[in-house]
Amino acid sequence: MDDMELLQEYASRGSEEAFATLVSRHINMVYSVALRHVGNAHNAQEVTQAVFIVFARKARAVFLVSTTKLVPIGTRNPAAIGLVNGGHCQGLTRNGSSACR
């Protein structure tokens, strides 16, 4: 299955297997982006976890937006970038002075 099919499976049926597959496919990329943004491994792990928690909670909305073509499908920028930059992890600094909300 491709990512959109897995997203649909998770969003519509709550498939843990589909979610686990999406996480395993994208966790390294999400972590790399987080590490570049926050500058240390511990906070990057926290951000990565937060991204997937938010994604799990909002998968249906992400799927609906994605299927209406309001966001580019197949871009190099993962949803994680939007989540980090969109305020869910605002305030994280390279010195680790704050945590995700």
- Which domains does the chain show, CATH number per domain? 3-88 (1.10.1740)
Q: For residues 7 and 46, give the distance between their C-alpha atoms in angstroms, rounded to a whole number.
A: 23
pLDDT at residue 99 tops 90? no
Minimum mean pLDDT range among 6-10, 58-62, 78-82: 78-82
The predicted structure's pLDDT at residue 67: 57
Higher per-residue confidence, 85 vs 46: 46
pLDDT of 75: 42
Residues in the chain: 101
pLDDT at 59: 84
Q: What is the mean pLDDT of the chain?
A: 75
What distance in Å separates the CA atoms of residue 49 and residue 43, rounded to the nearest whole number?
Answer: 10
pLDDT digits (tens, 9 = 90+) for 16-54: 999 999 999 999 999 999 999 999 999 999 999 999 999
